[in-house]
Structure 1
Amino acid sequence: MNIRTQLTLSYIGIVLIVLFAIYFFLGGALETVLSDHITNALQVQAALTREFLIEELPDKDQFNYDNIDPLVDRLGKVGQVRLTFIDKSGVVRGDTERDGSSLKEMDNHLSRPEIREANENGFGEINRKSDTTQIEYRYFALRIDRDGVPIGFCRVALPLETVNTALGNLRRMLLYVTIAGSILAILFGFFSTGAIVKPIKKLTEITQSIAAGETTSRVEVKSDNEMGQLSRHFNIMTDRVQEQIDMISVENKRLETILNNMSEGVLLINGATEITYANPAAIVMLNLPEMYIGRALIEINRIPELQALLREAEHTESVAFAEIRLENLRESEAEVTIVPVIAENEYVIVIHDVSHIRQLERIRADFVANVSHELRTPLTTIQGYAETLLNTKSSKNKKRKEFTAKILQHSTRLTRLVSDLLELARLESGDIELKRTVCHLNSFHEQIKDVFEPVLEESKLTLQWDIPEDLPKVSVDRQLFMQVFVNLIDNAIKYSPDKGVIEVSAETRESDDDVIVHIKDTGIGIPLESQSRVFERFYRVDKDRAREMGGTGLGLAIVKHILLCHDGRIWLESELGQGTVFHFSLRVSAEV
């Protein structure tokens, strides 16, 4: 039942109760008033009749039916009531309802209640059925005194049917008025409650629209009454709620942006270890399927260490931390922190990929070990030969020259190592200013021949330079870029067998935006597990062979950083026993 029906029925109910209460109360009151009015009318009629009879009646010894009954009939006709005259002895001498013999046959009325009361008190009143006519009357009797001596009684009577008819007409009229008032009350209640309910209904509609997401809806304020105040305060409340929603939305977007762009993986799981949220990093780290929401973590990713860490956090209700291996990470190393949210019975899992950090730590350890070894070996040699020179008593120039040559060789190696380290540090720091010039790659050919011609002849290796003349020019720092060619070709010479072939070629790809250079050898090749590390400092595939050939282990790292400074890149293809191809790319010069 809606509020309009409730208000209408309540209003109608109250009005009907009031109207019918008024009906019954007013009906009773009017009945009393009408009854009193009829009684008063009978009293007046009886008083007038008494005065008339005092004047007109003969002496009491001359009372007879013939001279009194006509007088009584005439008076009753005029007053339109039943009029009776009874002498002092109770004999009825005149009555408007009886004539002749029927009048004479009437009973003695001295015992009638109203006559007895009038005889005692001067007047008498009663409602009763007439013994003569068998009709109910309202009687009013007065004692008639002449010169202070009672001579009889005059009695006025009105049929109660007439009284009841008048009272019935009055009640009927009141009922009609009540019914008409009820109908008007119903109509008024219907329309008045409609006016009251209309703004409430509008408010309800606006509330429903806001609940459905239309937060811009507002209630129109048309008055300053209670409904107007309610509408105004509702709009104020809605504005404040909208402000809070906007603030929460901004915070959610900010939080979502942070979580989506975090390198750490973040998961939220409930007490049943079901995933309720995962950011993109966590999806990648744990290799989650598309439909992961609501699924148990152990069902998707069976990592015993992660499950054990989760149980620990659940048991201790405190932060749990461990470094575990995740199969989907590069080095399978991750720091996992699980934070229980006690109030919500949830757990926040933060996964930090530390594989790169661990890799850098290993590189640093290798670097320290390699640098120590590289420096210690020549220093020990220099120290040994120097001590021999100081302690030897031999004066043979040949031996002295041999030791001096060894010292020079190892000091030169140290110098080259320190120079390469300084060069690499300078490239990695970015604190270098490129002196670019536009040139063709073939301009490096003659210099390369001059550098490697003695080595090539000694090793019986063939250097094939196959770079087309129509290749676009590039903008490079010639001195640095010369080092790229020298390091890569020197590397190829060291690992190629005698009578091998080293090919240098170039081409354009990717809509002629880049020049791709290839340096191919027929050497021993590089194992697959080492190919991703050959550009690290001091990393060697075959350490003994590399040291025997006098390399520092920094050549490819220097090449990589020189190309990065030129916005280029380097990569390789290799197969054991089949040789290696180094590829590097450069941007075509925009200058003609």
Structure 2
Amino acid sequence: MRAAQTRVTGLLMLAVGATTALAVYWLPRVAQDAPLSSYHAPTLVASSVVVALLAAIALHRDSVKHTRRAFEQLKQCALSETPCAGDLINERSGGEVARELREHIDAQKKKIDNLLMQKKNLEIQLKIADAQRKQTQVMIHGISDAVIITDAFDETLIANPAAGDLFAFDANKAARQPVAKLLTGSALAGHITEMRQHHARTNRRTFEFEHEVDKQPRHFSVTMTCVNDSTDQFGGVVTVLHDITREKEVGKMKNEFVSHVSHELRTPLSSIKAYAELLVDGEASDEKTRQEFYHVIQTEANRLGRLIDNILNISRIEAGMMKVNKKPVDVSAVVKQVLEVAMPTAKEKQIQLVDQLKPVFDHVNADRDMIYQACLNLVSNAIKYTPSGGTVKVSLDLDEAARQVKVLVTDTGVGIPADAMKHLFEKFFRVEQNKSMAKGSGLGLNLTRQIVESVHEGKMLVQSEVGKGSTFGFTLPLAA
């Protein structure tokens, strides 16, 4: 603009100079021919000045018009993402104006290029961040443990479906919701707030938490971790709840198992130790007494051996480490062998052992020793819990339609109360009312069920009525 103004000033000076020259040229001639007043010399000079001024104004308008066009092109170039042509500004605008505009355009082009590059980088980073966020969200949603992520204001960022199921809220609508609203009635929200408030002192905290699910108490191991954002400032809390209810139940069962085993092992060992000390001290002075002591020691030692065998067999079956030798087995032959072994004990208690075996020619694919152990356990229990003068019936039947063989042992014993039926096959369980009738470890029925159902894919059967007796049995599938 400064160059344009300079040019207009020059033009004005040129117009004034031309007018003066004109007056100097014409006035002498006029003076020679006539008086000066007759030719209106002032009017002539004024007219010449006006003409010069009009010419200068026209040139100024042309210059301004061209300058505006140049700035308009500069504006379009600045707003456009495409490169501007080198000859954008015509040289008619003046060399200095064109040079300044080019420098300004080049600087703006560099800024625009830098901004475009930054924009592309930001778009790439945004896409990467979005992909990572979606991947993280998919991973969190796939975790079976409940996961809740909150920000620095205790608002929920992410909650997976497991957390929604646990606390009864829609995980898809949990974002930006206050965690206290989602965990209404639960003390966990208070723990999250406390963790946020004390994040400077601890970044990780683990504790056990109890929460009611379907009106049943569930136990959880809760892990809370503070996380920082990209500026290394506190960003929020990640809370993970792992259900340990089953683990606590197993731990309790393990403790009870050890307690029962210790008790059951101690009983025969105490008897063996006591009678051995009597023999050492010479308390058995005659042969008959010594034989009685020997018999007690032998009986308790056999009982101890059976107890240990049962424990080991159950553990091996549950761990899948039991060696099983399956082959076609005649179940009727196995049951007859059991009756022969149990007959002396039945006669000693004056119990009638009745054989109701039907001829079965089909075989089952089984481990013979295991099936023998299962049958012996059922017959022995029936004899132990049947008073003298009672009856124990053993039957074998074939169900051709179901392609299975059925073994039943029915006694006229004391029977089992209804509330104890559901616990019959638990380890070390014994009916409290019947403990005085016979010794036992409470492992026989559990081992029998493991043999029948876990190893041979059969099914245990039981019916009982207090004062009338019980029926225990099992079915096994026939060999193909």
TM (norm. structure 1) is 0.56
The root-mean-square deviation of aligned C-alpha atoms, in Å, is 5.1
C-alpha contact 1:309 1:321 (8 A) present in aligned 2: no
> Does residue 1:376 correspond to 2:260, yes or no?
no
Equivalent AA in structure 1 for residue 300 of structure 2: H
**Which residues of 2 match residues 16-55 of structure 1 at below 5 A?**
18=1, 22=4, 25-45=6-26, 49=28
Instruction: Pick one of 407, 425, 428 that aligns with 1:534.
Output: 425
> Does residue 1:484 correspond to 2:374, yes or no?
yes
C-alpha contact 2:420 2:431 (8 A) present in aligned 1: no
2:351 equivalent in structure 1: 459
Q: Residues 444 and 270 (structure 1 numbering): CA distance in 2 closer, same or farther, change over 3 Å?
A: farther
> Does residue 1:358 correspond to 2:251, yes or no?
yes
Equivalent AA in structure 1 for residue 14 of structure 2: V
Equivalent AA in structure 1 for residue 440 of structure 2: G
Bigger radius of gyration: 1
Q: Residues 480 and 251 (structure 1 numbering): CA distance in 2 closer, same or farther, change over 3 Å?
A: same
C-alpha contact 1:534 1:541 (8 A) present in aligned 2: no
> Residue 33 of structure 1: CA displacement?
0.8
C-alpha contact 2:207 2:221 (8 A) present in aligned 1: yes
2:97 equivalent in structure 1: none
CA distance in 1, matches of 2:215, 2:360: 40
CA distance in 1, matches of 2:273, 2:457: 40
CA distance in 2, matches of 1:29, 1:282: 85
Identity of aligned residues (%): 15
Instruction: Pick one of 551, 554, 560 that aligns with 2:440.
Output: 551
Instruction: Pick one of 167, 170, 179 that aligns with 1:291.
Output: 170
Specify every segment of 5 or more residues in structure 2 that has no aligned partner in the other structure, as ranges.
84-108, 228-233
Instruction: Pick one of 141, 159, 162 that aligns with 2:47.
Output: 162
C-alpha contact 2:396 2:405 (8 A) present in aligned 1: no
Equivalent AA in structure 1 for residue 425 of structure 2: V
- Cα deviation digits, residues 29-71 of structure 1 (max 9, x gap): 222212212222333445xx5xxxxxxxxxxxxxxxxxxxxxx
- Cα deviation digits, residues 273-328 of structure 1 (max 9, x gap): 777665666667xx421437447669867577x78977986887656665565544
Aligned residue for 2:425, secondary structure, equals coil
- Cα deviation digits, residues 98-131 of structure 1 (max 9, x gap): 4xxxxxxxxxxxxxxxxxxxxxxxxxxxxxxxxx
> Residue 435 of structure 1: CA displacement?
1.7
Instruction: Pick one of 428, 431, 451 that aligns with 1:562.
Output: 451
Aligned residue for 2:34, secondary structure, equals strand
> Residue 436 of structure 1: CA displacement?
1.6
Q: Residues 271 and 159 (structure 1 numbering): CA distance in 2 closer, same or farther, change over 3 Å?
A: closer
Q: Residues 302 and 32 (structure 1 numbering): CA distance in 2 closer, same or farther, change over 3 Å?
A: closer
Q: How many positions carry a matched residue from both structures?
A: 433
2:299 equivalent in structure 1: 409
1:107 equivalent in structure 2: none
Q: Residues 411 and 184 (structure 1 numbering): CA distance in 2 closer, same or farther, change over 3 Å?
A: closer
C-alpha contact 1:534 1:540 (8 A) present in aligned 2: no
- Cα deviation digits, residues 73-112 of structure 1 (max 9, x gap): xxx5xxxxxx125xxxxxxx932764xxxxxxxxxxxxxx
Equivalent AA in structure 2 for residue 491 of structure 1: N
Q: Residues 297 and 43 (structure 1 numbering): CA distance in 2 closer, same or farther, change over 3 Å?
A: closer
- Cα deviation digits, residues 483-514 of structure 1 (max 9, x gap): 223323433454467346666667699xx8x9
- Cα deviation digits, residues 189-246 of structure 1 (max 9, x gap): 576456x2469xxxxxxxxxxxxxxxxxxxxxxxxx7456655565455445545555
1:70 equivalent in structure 2: none
Instruction: Pick one of 81, 84, 93 that aligns with 2:31.
Output: 84
CA distance in 2, matches of 1:561, 1:281: 34
> Residue 546 of structure 1: CA displacement?
4.8
CA distance in 2, matches of 1:462, 1:185: 122
1:146 equivalent in structure 2: none
> Does residue 1:181 correspond to 2:98, yes or no?
no
C-alpha contact 1:448 1:486 (8 A) present in aligned 2: yes
**Which residues of 2 match residues 426-445 of structure 1 at below 5 A?**
426-427=316-317, 430-439=320-329, 441=331, 444-445=334-335
Equivalent AA in structure 1 for residue 255 of structure 2: R
C-alpha contact 1:378 1:411 (8 A) present in aligned 2: no
CA distance in 2, matches of 1:44, 1:434: 140
CA distance in 1, matches of 2:161, 2:415: 42
Q: Residues 420 and 333 (structure 1 numbering): CA distance in 2 closer, same or farther, change over 3 Å?
A: same
CA distance in 2, matches of 1:466, 1:280: 58
Aligned residue for 2:31, secondary structure, equals strand
Specify every segment of 5 or more residues in structure 1 that has no aligned partner in the other structure, as ranges.
1-17, 50-75, 77-82, 86-92, 99-132, 138-157, 200-224
Equivalent AA in structure 1 for residue 306 of structure 2: R
> Residue 163 of structure 1: CA displacement?
0.9
Equivalent AA in structure 1 for residue 20 of structure 2: T
